[in-house]
Amino acid sequence: MACNSTTDQPQNANITSKSFGTLPSGEEVTQYIMTNNQGMEMSVITYGGIITSLTAPDKAGKYEDIVLGFDNLEGYLQDGVPYFGALIGRYGNRIAKGKFTLDSTEYELAINNIGNHLHGGLKGFDKVNWSAKEVEYADGVALELTYLSADGEEGYPGNLETKVTYQLGNDNTLLIDYMATTDKKTVVNLTQHSYFNLSAMKEDVLNHQLMVNADHFLPVDSTLIPTGELRPVEGTPFNFTEMKKVGADVNQENQQLTYGLGYDHCWVLNEGAGKMDLAAKAYEPNSGRTLEVYTSEPAIQVYTGNFLDGTLTGKGGTVYNKRTGLCLETQHFPDSPNQPEFPSTELNPGEKYESQTKFVFGIRE
């Protein structure tokens, strides 16, 4: 292929790696820098499988970082970092009172969020050091992360063999492929916790427009556990069936918004589980950046960074205030192990947990 000297974009997709520091345990953390043939770049560290940076073009073709995170490992090791960019497991979102029962055995998990279990516990998949290797992908680059979660880890039953592949496509897409198997009946609900800001942190996310392909959402109690009701979004601030500013209704008088300090809820996707369907779309008018989310999961947690309070300073000295980021976490419903009417999150020996989510980055002029 002829080399175009007027562009600084790489001709070939590639992955490079370097050390990102050492954990207190002595384990080395590696950072993988994945670049597609458009020049889009995504950095991933083995610690937590965290996406530390991800660039996407604006309408002028300028690639800028659109995710929250830190410049170095120390940033991620601070207390109270709210899962920036991390892989979440074994169970994304909440399990009421940290308890569930499988085949009449009750399992007890850590209580780490207002009386409930959140995002896999005290040392969830966001805080373990994954093994990583580059794998073949013809239309871009791919990185495979694996982790064996031992039987009883964080209170969950079964040895869980987990594999997550990040596939960065030359068409500016990121496909995340999750796979897990167990040797004992267990529950699994994996997700990715990137905080997006399509303005590249120039403003908060209230001006982003959002569409969520869902006619229902899951109302929660005051501790953010679903009540079991599937409530129509129509006529409520939770109606994102048409593109609407994130900030349009977020300050309305509404008990659900009070409980979440804004949007921190699970929307029930219209297309259901199983095959890849459109879950959500976001658009930031100043940059022109768009983000579409497709998933095989039945639901998406939309979280508008309500608990960010300016105490964390991230990459390049940016202070992370309330609503600096927007999380679009594809998943099964929260608290499914205790709510039999919800789609099951159980995994049996011999079965394969499989889930896929695709983020498509684009522009609208």
Binding footprint of ligand BGC on the chain (CB under 6 A): 82-83, 224, 264, 301, 303, 307, 327, 329
Residue pair 29/129 in contact (Cβ under 8 Å)? The answer is yes
**Within its chain, how far is the Cα of 186 from the centroid?**
22
Backbone dihedral region for residue 121 (phi beyond 0: left; psi -120 to 50: alpha; all else: beta):
left
**Which CB, 186 or 301, lies closer to ligand BGC?**
301
SS3 317: helix
Residue 185: exposure state from Cβ atoms within 10 A (0-12, 13-18, ≥19): middle
Judge whether 216 counts as a catalytic residue.
no
Residue pair 304/250 in contact (Cβ under 8 Å)? The answer is yes
Closest contact distance (angstroms) between CB of 327 and ligand BGC is 6
Closest contact distance (angstroms) between CB of 214 and ligand BGC is 16
Closest contact distance (angstroms) between CB of 9 and ligand BGC is 34
**Which CB, 120 or 158, lies closer to ligand BGC?**
120
Judge whether 229 counts as a catalytic residue.
no
Rounded distance between C-alpha atoms, residue 264 and residue 222, angstroms: 12
Closest contact distance (angstroms) between CB of 285 and ligand BGC is 26
Residue 123: exposure state from Cβ atoms within 10 A (0-12, 13-18, ≥19): exposed
Number of neighbours of residue 227 by Cβ within 10 angstroms = 12
Collect all residues with Cβ–Cβ distance below 8 Å to 321 and sequence separation of at least 6. 204, 308, 309, 310
Catalytic residue among 64, 153, 284, 329: 329
Closest contact distance (angstroms) between CB of 305 and ligand BGC is 8
Identify the bridge partners of residue 34 per DSSP, sorted by sequence position. 15, 42
Catalytic residue among 193, 208, 216, 332: 193
H-type alpha helices, the chain:
73-77, 255-260
- Tell me the catalytic residues: 193, 329
